[in-house]
Structure 1
Amino acid sequence: MYNKYKKRFPLWLIMWSTVLLLICVLAISLGASSVSISRIIPTLLGDGTFKEEFVIFSVRLPRLAVLAIAGSALALSGAILQTLTRNDLADPGIIGINAGAGIGVTIFYIYAGGGLTNQPYMLPLVGFISAILAAGLIYFLAMERHAGLNPMKLVLIGIGFAFALSGLMTILMSSADRTDVQFIAAWLSGNVWGADWPYVWAILPWIVIAVPVSLWKAKRLNIMRLEDSVGKGLGIHFKRERAILLVLAVALAASSVSVVGSVSFIGLIAPHIAKQMAGVQHQRFLPISMLVGASLLVGADTIGRVIYSEATIPAGIIVALIGAPYFVYLLRKAL
């Protein structure tokens, strides 16, 4: 079984890289502002018209970059959380991390950041601070004195926190002006509002740091799937490693949702798909998870833009339509 997954890993890596590339091509060539497939490469090489260059370089590429980065980060965050909690239902959206980031971003946007010139660069930091506070509180409440972390309790408390914080954001909407209300509503629905180059540069440093460290910790994550006693016997300091990995997972999720809004289920679906293809060794399924997550979010955004000609359906809603039934299926298995 181990050799089977090891041999197939390069094939799955190539396949999902190809899938992501094809979805990106479709995203550029479909929709109201689009460039035909035959004109994409000439335009990228500098041989396009003004309109083609504007559509690709100013409209489509920054949006695709944000979506691909956020999708891969959310998938990696979900994979880390599932291992840390030993719970296949863990996801940054489901257990309240996204909502934790969202409440911080919302408060900052309403009371401080609406008109700041450096707003794109402040949002990931604000989202991270509020998300790490929420994650720490959820983690603390899910701990049991003698048994340690209760995975099912973590999910249930996280769901409760997510609903409570979403309700708080709704209350904030009642006292905000019309522009701020539109922002909060767009964020809650998972509408990709940060689709310009400044937002790409704002979240890129977080990903450049968090992703390599997470992949470097892959062997530690393999051990952390085991019981604490086994890990301690192998020389793993569980509390320290859990703290580091939790911070990484929160940083990946918070920086992403601060730009693309409240997108759930990417971190739930992508790791499960990757494990079916590449096995449970983190060295193999983490890279596949990232490609699957990027493909899902870019694909969901593309579907949302073209499925209804008169309006754009937020990517978060499209992902939820796919992810919610899968979550129910996993919940039934867990119970």
Structure 2
Amino acid sequence: MNNSLISSVEQKRRRRAILVMSVLFVGIIIAFLISMNTGVIRLTPLDVLKTLFGFGTAQQHMVLFDFRLPRIIISILIGMGLAISGAVLQALSRNALADPGIIGINSGAGMVILLYVAFYTTPAAAPVYLLPILAWLGGGIAAFLVFVISYRRQKGLSPNRLILNGVAISSGFSAVTILVSLRINPEQYQFVATWLAGSIWSKDWNYVYALLPFIIILMPYVFFKAQTINVLNLGAPMATGLGAAVARQQIWLLAAAVGLASSCVAVSGSIGFVGLVAPHLARRLVGNRYQVVLPATALAGGFLVLVADTLGRWLLQPAEIPTGIVVAVIGAPYFLYLMFRTKG
């Protein structure tokens, strides 16, 4: 009787997870189609369809393939990358408020990117394919500092200290970024302002190609480690008792989380709260098993950033609202809600 009851519950959970991920996937497809029709130059659904099959005008082909499609794909990729990074960080720290932006990874990656860009007369002159690698370096330095300062030999990693130290480290990197911005030319300063607002400034296929290797290598690795994340999420003593090599697994998973977040920051700017909101939404919808949490988190993150970018391009045409601001309108209230709930 008990076995059949457990089996029935498991089947319901599996069906629910499949339904949720199917809805999120369909939502991404719908947002994708709407986003292709959104912009200063109006393309009707028929125009988009004709252009996709090679029957559009030269202008329609340029607008769709050279501007909108790269931006849409980048939006989905960075949403997935930031969301998965947040899910891993929350599991490793066992802190519901952990997020690549909150604990300083975004600021560290962004500072290195801006220092790199400052060496060139224009941001466009900086070689594209080095950006994610340099961002990984900066994000890794920030994560290393935060985790080392927050770790205590007897008590391990303190979730509360992690957030507080992350905010402090993030503020320090942001201060250096502002100092650098005061010594650059007006065009570079405009780039800095755009980056800090979280605008998807990288809008051509080169940036897609620069980001894609990090996503297609690191995300499957994290998915493969889903069971390990389940064990680590129980806490270091219990994970050790179950035979997990805790320190080694934490280091590798942290490196993957930093790589995902940093590479996304390199092509999108400082978009916060995605790594906070998407994992929480996924866990509420599909439960706590990371085998289903991670795919649902990736879909939720991709959907969130794509919708935010589409809204940012549509609301104040021909001007744009940076994607980071739209995401913050959603994420900041949710962050405050979680803070009060956690404190209580």
Same fold (TM over 0.5): yes
Q: Distance in 1 between matches of 2:10 and 2:256?
A: 28
Q: Which residue of 2 aligns with 1:291?
A: 299
**Gap change, CA 1:83 and 1:113, over 3 Å in 2:** farther
Q: Distance in 1 between matches of 2:127 and 2:66?
A: 19
Q: How does 1:164-203 map to 2 (within 5 A)?
A: 164-203=172-211
Q: Which amino acid aligns with 1:273?
A: L
How big is each residue's C-alpha offset from its partner over 1:46-67, in whole Å with a ceiling of 9 and x where there is no partner? Answer: 1222222111111110001111
- Secondary structure, in 3 states, of the residue corresponding to 2:296? helix
- The alignment status of 1:322 with 2:330, answered yes or no, reads yes
Q: Which amino acid aligns with 2:202?
A: G
How big is each residue's C-alpha offset from its partner over 1:9-67, in whole Å with a ceiling of 9 and x where there is no partner? Answer: 21112111110011111111122124212332222111222222111111110001111
- Asked if the contact 1:16–1:292 (Cα under 8 Å) also holds between the matched residues in 2, the reply is yes
Q: Which amino acid aligns with 1:329?
A: Y
Q: Which residue of 1 aligns with 2:43?
A: 35
- The alignment status of 1:60 with 2:71, answered yes or no, reads no
Q: Equivalent of 2:320, from 287, 312, 330?
A: 312
Q: Distance in 1 between matches of 2:122 and 2:224?
A: 37
Q: Distance in 2 between matches of 1:121 and 1:41?
A: 32
State the shift of 1:2 in Å. Answer: 4.0
**Gap change, CA 1:223 and 1:301, over 3 Å in 2:** same
- The alignment status of 1:129 with 2:159, answered yes or no, reads no
- The alignment status of 1:72 with 2:80, answered yes or no, reads yes
State the shift of 1:309 in Å. Answer: 2.2
Q: Equivalent of 1:228, from 236, 242, 262?
A: 236
- Asked if the contact 1:28–1:34 (Cα under 8 Å) also holds between the matched residues in 2, the reply is no
**Gap change, CA 1:113 and 1:204, over 3 Å in 2:** farther
How big is each residue's C-alpha offset from its partner over 1:213-247, in whole Å with a ceiling of 9 and x where there is no partner? Answer: 01000010011110222211221011000000000
Q: How does 1:1-335 map to 2 (within 5 A)?
A: 1-111=9-119, 114=122, 119-335=127-343
Q: Distance in 2 between matches of 1:216 and 1:113?
A: 43
- Asked if the contact 1:189–1:316 (Cα under 8 Å) also holds between the matched residues in 2, the reply is yes
Q: Distance in 1 between matches of 2:14 and 2:171?
A: 41
- Secondary structure, in 3 states, of the residue corresponding to 1:87? coil
- Secondary structure, in 3 states, of the residue corresponding to 1:311? coil
Q: Distance in 1 between matches of 2:335 and 2:245?
A: 32
- Secondary structure, in 3 states, of the residue corresponding to 1:30? coil
Unaligned runs of 5+ residues in structure 1 are none
Q: Distance in 1 between matches of 2:171 and 2:63?
A: 38
How big is each residue's C-alpha offset from its partner over 1:174-202, in whole Å with a ceiling of 9 and x where there is no partner? Answer: 11111111111111100111111000000
Q: TM-score, normalised by structure 1?
A: 0.97
Q: Distance in 2 between matches of 1:34 and 1:131?
A: 39
Question: How many residue pairs are counted as aligned between the two chains?
Answer: 335
In the TM superposition, structure 1's runs of 4+ consecutive aligned residues that sit over 3 Å from their partners are: 112-118
Identical counterparts, % of pairs: 37
State the shift of 1:160 in Å. Answer: 1.6
Q: Distance in 2 between matches of 1:321 and 1:34?
A: 27
Q: Which amino acid aligns with 2:147?
A: Y
Please say which of residues 260-269 and 222-231 is displaced more in the overlay.
222-231
Q: Which amino acid aligns with 2:185?
A: D
Q: Distance in 2 between matches of 1:268 and 1:3?
A: 28
Q: Distance in 2 between matches of 1:86 and 1:48?
A: 51
Q: Distance in 2 between matches of 1:274 and 1:179?
A: 40
